[in-house]
Structure 1
């Protein structure tokens, strides 16, 4: 019987707290907002976890789009400047990095140098020309900027 009395006492305390909180304007705004959210969830037939996923994905800007046809709002990637230089009597267009993609003439020069990767070829050129950066290499080889 004492458990029942404890629960009834707790219920009475909770009812008193609810009454006090309902008198608070800020708390009432929150309660009204939650009721409206719950009504919106029910209106559109979402279960609670799915509804939370929708709300979170809407407010989480860094989440990737799930639709492959969505438009990205990322800024266009800046292209690295390219420079035309002469290496071993051959005109070659160099840039700081290629991210695995090389134009055919550059690929031919890289393979002729005995390399499979542009990064290794570029490192070798920097070492052979006794410079410590890409900019210094371009300057030493007399590189001319190339536009698209």
Structure 2
């Protein structure tokens, strides 16, 4: 029964909000425009997708490819993030700013030893523990060496 009361209360709130927005001149202009657009779409018997496509093409709005086949050809090579060799608890570990990808065994061991399962959590912990704001400041504080 409480769900019904919740829905009724939400309905009353929505009715009040609709009445308030109907008093707003800008909102009413948008509402009228949408009604006119729907009338045009119905007049020419366009589906919603086709109508949107026509409007976007008129304004020369670039849309993403609809199929993976077309979109994969437009991929660009991603630049690898620099990696830095640092000493943590007497062991050398290679850190990188990116939290994507697979961890090297030494890094995975250090992450697990610190009690984390994810590199991002481990990295956040290191930043907090060393009282720095950014990854670059962390590398500077840990005297990290750039790995080629």
TM range (shorter): 0.5 to 0.7
Q: Secondary structure at the match of 1:76?
A: coil
Using the TM superposition, give the Cα deviation of residue 126 of structure 1 relative to its aligned residue in structure 2, in angstroms.
0.9
Using the TM superposition, give the Cα deviation of residue 69 of structure 1 relative to its aligned residue in structure 2, in angstroms.
8.6
- TM-score scaled to structure 1, two decimals? 0.53
**Residues 62/103 of structure 1: CA separation in 2 closer, same or farther (3 Å cut):** farther
Using the TM superposition, give the Cα deviation of residue 66 of structure 1 relative to its aligned residue in structure 2, in angstroms.
3.0
**Cross-structure match for 1:32:** none
**Cross-structure match for 2:141:** 140
Q: Secondary structure at the match of 1:138?
A: helix
Using the TM superposition, give the Cα deviation of residue 135 of structure 1 relative to its aligned residue in structure 2, in angstroms.
0.5
**Residues 134/61 of structure 1: CA separation in 2 closer, same or farther (3 Å cut):** same
- Report the Cα distance in structure 2 between the residues aligned to 1:63 and 1:91, rounded to whole angstroms: 44
**Cross-structure match for 2:85:** 84
Using the TM superposition, give the Cα deviation of residue 98 of structure 1 relative to its aligned residue in structure 2, in angstroms.
2.5
- Report the Cα distance in structure 1 between the residues aligned to 2:85 and 2:115, rounded to whole angstroms: 20
Q: Secondary structure at the match of 2:87?
A: strand
- Structure possessing the higher radius of gyration over alpha carbons: 1
**Residues 100/70 of structure 1: CA separation in 2 closer, same or farther (3 Å cut):** closer
Contact kept, 8 Å, 2:64 with 2:71, in 1: the verdict is no
Match status 1:107 vs 2:116: no
Using the TM superposition, give the Cα deviation of residue 75 of structure 1 relative to its aligned residue in structure 2, in angstroms.
2.1
Structure 1 unaligned blocks of 5 or more: 1-48
Structure 2 unaligned blocks of 5 or more: 1-46, 55-59
- Report the Cα distance in structure 1 between the residues aligned to 2:130 and 2:146, rounded to whole angstroms: 19
- TM-score scaled to structure 2, two decimals? 0.53
Superposition pairs of residues 1-40 of structure 1, within 5 angstroms: none
- Report the Cα distance in structure 2 between the residues aligned to 1:118 and 1:74, rounded to whole angstroms: 26
Provide the alpha-carbon RMSD of the alignment: 2.8
